[in-house]
Amino acid sequence: MTDTSEIAARLRSLLPNAHAPYSGVHVAAAVEGADGRLHYGVNVENAAYPQGLCAEASAISGAVTAGEKALKRVYVASSLPGLIWPCGGCRQKIFEFAADGCEVMSLGPDGEVGRRTIEQLLPLGFRLEPGEGRRA
Ligand code: THU
């Protein structure tokens, strides 16, 4: 695992790249795959508000594109003071690709670190095993 303070610095350096003209809240995220590789994302808002993309969703999309579907860890940082945690929709998106014990680390602007497992953030999350839920 890369050092948490290095990842925090990398996420802070990405915050200006977020496209957040509507909320003004810049968010950067990284997801760590089974091989330890990090995939980054920022939030990308849209004038049609619901079309906006969270930083976590953007990072997950990069990971899946790179062939990674077993996430060990998710990191998130924002331009707000203190720690932020993924929204409900992103908790479900993380849950979809969470490896056993997958944890979310929130990295604050003053070096604060919070950690929770995805199971803590989304108890009793919905999951379909491959093949389940398909129409006969
Ligand atoms: N946002 C994220 O990208 N990740 C989070 O964990 C929380 C919220 C974004 C969505 C929106 O662009 C802005 O932050 C304000 O909600």
**Residue closest by Cα to atom 10 of ligand 1:** 54
pLDDT at 51: 98
Q: Which of 56, 96, 112, 132 is catalytic?
A: 56
Compute CA distances 44 → 10, 23, 30, 120, whole Å.
18, 11, 15, 27
Q: Which residues pair with 27 in a beta bridge?
A: 78
> Mean pLDDT for each consecutive 10-residue tract of the chain (136 residues)?
90 98 98 96 98 98 98 98 98 98 98 98 94 79
Residue ranges and CATH numbers for the domains of the chain are 4-121 (3.40.140.10)
Distance 36 CA to ligand 1 centre (A): 25
Residue 59: exposure state from Cβ atoms within 10 A (0-12, 13-18, ≥19): buried
Pair type for strands 38-42 and 27-32: antiparallel
11, 22, 23, 43, best to mutate for ligand 1 pocket (most atoms within 8 Å of CB): 43
The confidence score (pLDDT) of residue 129 equals: 86
DSSP per residue over 46-71, as a string? -SSGGG-B-HHHHHHHHHHHTT---E
56 included as an active-site residue = yes
pTM of this prediction?
A: 0.96
Residue 108, burial from CB neighbour count under 10 angstroms (0-12, 13-18, 19+): middle
What pLDDT score was predicted for residue 134?
A: 80
